[in-house]
């Protein structure tokens, strides 16, 4: 059964990453997921892709939007509209503008890495947590990945895991299935410490 | 007997070295061109990777066989990566080896780097002045594009705090600059995108929509800007549609449906990259 074998391969990936990114398991998710997806799609510059998310993390244009665009963004998304109903009704642009840079990057632009980094909060529709956590978590991700990225073992491990998962039939699974599998492994009995956000 | 063997070996060695040098330069050029294509196709990460490879290959060529062309390719790739100091040094080297525009490009790279440093330190006013100077005087497209983008973003981030009269004046000045850039280089998608941003602030939704469509058609320098342009386009389209009389609304809906089909969108307001 491909699913079980893929799961085992991903579990080995989590173990490998835990040696290279100790006690930061929430960062495993986007990295491992990216490596697997790109291995399936036979993208060979996965290394540049993983590093490049930092380059476009906080684009300047996010702070340049007119008030109506910001309001429309919150109104136009059902879940955001519900969460920020009071601010929208009051036309509280100070509050909405404060939340906009984080939420527009994660939800408006659908940045793959950021969506993975905040998967737990998005699934729980806890958008205020995304806003509160955004600066600290992205800064931490950037800091944590830097030393690991300088270590060739990190990239070798990722490549091995991605290729192994791909060869075992990762492509037969839905994206969501793979994501849930990795999250379960990270939260599971791998013994990586309390590093995933408690609400995940 | 040994002499001809040595001569042949020397010829082979020279040939091998020439081919190797040629290979570095042609590889650098190819990576640079690939990066440009990938950036236009919104494959940002791949573009960054290609430009990095172009810098490496051009660097090897510069060490083995320095030439104006090798330093120019290196400088161009460094410019795209925002490595201003290295780009300045490369263009100066290219100039010293006979590339006439090298000095001007080096000066523009130095100014761009200086403006970026001011911005990082939170000194927006001098940064704006330098970007303005580049926009007025430079002919170096990469520096022009960066300056146009940075200046537009800085100005638009400030207009929310201005009183209405000052806001109108500031936005008029910005659109005038962008009009001038578009007149000079109509095929640059980034300028149309920036114009669309300024038009949205002015409340000119029709122009904003048209500029965003144009930007999408001509291509944008990164995936994020492309996605932001799509979001802006949809925002203008929806608001414009609601405000138009029936006949004009029908024409706009038909036009947008045509674009959406061409771009492979799921419907008139859902780009293909949107998950929901």
- Identity of the highest mean pLDDT range in A101-105, A150-154, A163-167, B15-19: A101-105
Residues of A in contact with B201 (CB under 8 A): 66
Q: How confident is the model at residue A198 (pLDDT cuts 50, 70, 90)?
A: very low
Please give, rounded to a whole number of angstroms, the shortest distance from the CA of B155 to a CA of chain A: 8
CB contact under 8 A, A52 and B157: no
What is the pLDDT, as a whole number, of residue B182?
95
CB contact under 8 A, B224 and A49: no
Please give, rounded to a whole number of angstroms, the shortest distance from the CA of B81 to a CA of chain A: 10
What is the pLDDT, as a whole number, of residue A99?
95
How does pLDDT run across A94-110, given as a tens digit for each residue? 999 999 999 999 999 88
C-beta separation of A19 from A38 below 8 A: no
B201 → closest Cβ in A55, A66, A73: A66
Question: DSSP label at A77?
Answer: S
Q: Which residues contact A183 (CB under 8 A, 6 or more apart)?
A: A29, A119, A120, A200
What is the pLDDT, as a whole number, of residue B19?
52
CATH number of the domain located at residue range(s) B41-161 in this protein: 1.25.40
Q: Which residues contact A158 (CB under 8 A, 6 or more apart)?
A: A13, A17, A31, A32, A35, A46, A47, A50
CB contact under 8 A, A48 and B46: yes
CB contact under 8 A, B48 and A52: yes
Please give, rounded to a whole number of angstroms, the shortest distance from the CA of B227 to a CA of chain A: 6
In CATH, what class is B170-276?
mainly alpha
How does pLDDT run across B60-76, given as a tens digit for each residue? 999 998 998 899 899 99
What is the pLDDT, as a whole number, of residue A199?
39
How does pLDDT run across B176-188, given as a tens digit for each residue? 999 999 999 999 9
Give the span between the Cα atoms of B204 and A89, in whole angstroms.
25
Task: Compare all CA atoms of chain A with the CA of B43 and give the residue at the minimum distance.
Answer: A49
Mean pLDDT across B229-244: 95
How does pLDDT run across B37-96, given as a tens digit for each residue? 887 776 777 788 889 999 999 999 999 989 988 998 999 999 888 888 888 899 988 888
Which ipTM value was assigned to this complex? 0.74
Within chain B, which residue ranges are assigned CATH 1.25.40? 41-161, 170-276
Residue A50 has which token pair? 């993983």
SS3 call for A198: coil
How far, in Å, are A149, B113, B193, B226 from residue B220 at the CA level? Answer: 29, 22, 8, 6
Residues of B in contact with A57 (CB under 8 A): none
Q: How confident is the model at residue B36 (pLDDT cuts 50, 70, 90)?
A: confident
Residues of B in contact with A59 (CB under 8 A): 224-225, 228
């Amino acid at each position: 059964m491909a699913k079980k074998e893929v799961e085992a391969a991903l579990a080995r990936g989590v173990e490998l990453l835990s040696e290279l990114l100790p006690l930061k398991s929430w960062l495993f998710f986007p990295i491992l997921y990216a490596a697997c997806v790109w291995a399936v799609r036979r993208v060979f510059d996965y290394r540049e892709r993983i590093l490049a998310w930092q380059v476009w993390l906080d684009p300047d244009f996010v702070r340049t939007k007119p008030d109506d665009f910001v309001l429309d963004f919150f109104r136009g998304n059902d879940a955001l509209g519900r969460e920020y109903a009071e601010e929208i009704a009051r036309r509280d642009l100070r509050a909405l503008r404060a939340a906009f840079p984080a939420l527009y990057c994660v939800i408006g632009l659908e940045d793959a890495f950021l969506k993975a980094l905040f998967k737990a909060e998005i699934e729980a529709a806890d958008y205020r947590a995304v806003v509160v956590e955004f600066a600290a978590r992205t800064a931490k991700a950037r800091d944590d990945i830097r030393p690991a990225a300088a270590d060739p073992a990190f990239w070798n491990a990722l490549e091995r895991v991605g290729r192994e998962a791909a060869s075992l039939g990762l492509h037969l699974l839905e994206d969501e299935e793979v994501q849930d599998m990795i999250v379960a492994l990270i939260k599971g009995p791998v013994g990586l410490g309390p590093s995933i956000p408690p609400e995940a | 007997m040994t002499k001809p063997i040595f001569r042949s070996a020397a010829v082979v060695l020279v040939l091998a070295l020439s081919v190797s040098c040629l290979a570095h330069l042609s590889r650098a050029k190819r990576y640079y061109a690939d990066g440009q294509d990938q950036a236009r196709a919104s494959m940002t990460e791949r573009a960054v990777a290609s430009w990095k490879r172009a810098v490496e290959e051009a660097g090897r060529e510069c060490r083995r066989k320095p030439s104006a062309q090798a330093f120019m390719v290196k400088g161009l790739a460094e410019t795209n990566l925002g490595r201003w100091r290295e780009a300045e040094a490369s263009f100066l080297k290219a100039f010293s080896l006979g590339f006439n525009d090298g000095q001007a490009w080096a000066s523009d790279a130095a100014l761009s780097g200086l403006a970026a440093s001011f911005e990082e330190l939170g000194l927006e006013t001098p940064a704006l002045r330098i970007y303005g100077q580049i926009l007025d005087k430079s002919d170096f497209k990469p520096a022009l594009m960066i300056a146009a983008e940075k200046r537009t973003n800085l100005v638009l981030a400030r207009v929310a705090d201005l009183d209405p009269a000052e806001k109108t004046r500031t936005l008029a000045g910005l659109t005038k600059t962008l009009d001038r850039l578009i007149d000079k280089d109509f095929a640059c998608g980034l300028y149309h995108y920036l114009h669309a941003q300024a038009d949205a602030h002015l409340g000119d939704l029709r122009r904003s929509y048209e500029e965003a469509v144009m930007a999408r058609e001509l291509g944008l320098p990164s995936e994020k800007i492309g996605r932001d342009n799509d979001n802006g386009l949809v925002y203008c389209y929806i608001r414009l549609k609601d405000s138009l009389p029936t006949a004009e609304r029908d024409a706009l809906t038909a036009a947008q449906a045509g674009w959406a089909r061409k771009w492979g969108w799921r419907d008139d307001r859902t780009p293909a990259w949107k998950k929901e």
